[in-house]
Amino acid sequence: MDDLLIHEYAEECTNLENQLLDDLERYTQTNMLQSRMLSGKIQGRLLAFISKLRQPKHILEIGTFSGYSALCLAEGLESNGLLYTIDINDELADVHEKYILKSQYSKQINIQYGDALDLVPKIHSKWDLVFIDADKMNYINYYNMVLPNMNKGGVIIADNVLWSGKVLDNMERLNDRDTKALHDFNVLVRNDSRVENFLLPVRDGLMILRVK
């Protein structure tokens, strides 16, 4: 059966996103380069669902892009919870002001610009939920950075771990640095006794981990 038809059917049978997210998705698709980086409805509803189940007090997002996933993750925050989202590209600030800072979660979302490896250690927080969706070469570095500061039972989600299927190809692993980095990350977390994990083949693959 056609994967696109299955995806469309799944969207039809999934709760609607709110109007702000719908507007942001349309804006991203129309105005931003690499718009395919947007989480999209199915993945966005999954992120919101996990966040609501976990009811986190502190969320960290590495890789903001247009802010769609941050708004989804914020749906599950405790009433006094905070979400820190970090992006290397400060040219996205206008988009963030237009959507994130005008949302009902504006006072709960802290947007920072720069290298996450430099910024995250300065936040001094214990994380309940972490979403990694930035440069693939640093996935292992991000993981090693956040894991010691995760609360027990905390959840880490990493996006794009299937990398359009390239992680299945031995030649791609040898010749493409991002592919190798993602494969190495997948193997690392699979063998890490500190967490339990599963790889969910939604969109480009989500690695979901729970800290023991």
Percent of the chain with pLDDT over 90: 84
Whether this model's pTM surpasses 0.85: yes
Looking at per-residue confidence, does 94 or 7 come out higher?
94
State both tokens at 140: 């292992």
| pLDDT at position 93 | 96
User: What CATH number is attached to the domain comprising 54?
Assistant: 3.40.50.150
| pLDDT at position 6 | 85
Domain count, the chain: 1
| pLDDT at position 35 | 66
Nearest to 64 by CA among 43, 37, 46: 37
| pLDDT at position 5 | 86
Give the model confidence (pLDDT) of 140-179 as tens digits: 999 999 999 999 999 999 999 999 999 999 999 989 999 9
| pLDDT at position 137 | 97
Give the model confidence (pLDDT) of 99-155 as tens digits: 998 899 999 999 999 999 999 999 999 999 999 999 999 999 999 999 999 999 999
- Answer yes or no: is pLDDT of 3 > 80: no
Q: What domain range includes position 60?
A: 3-211
| pLDDT at position 163 | 96
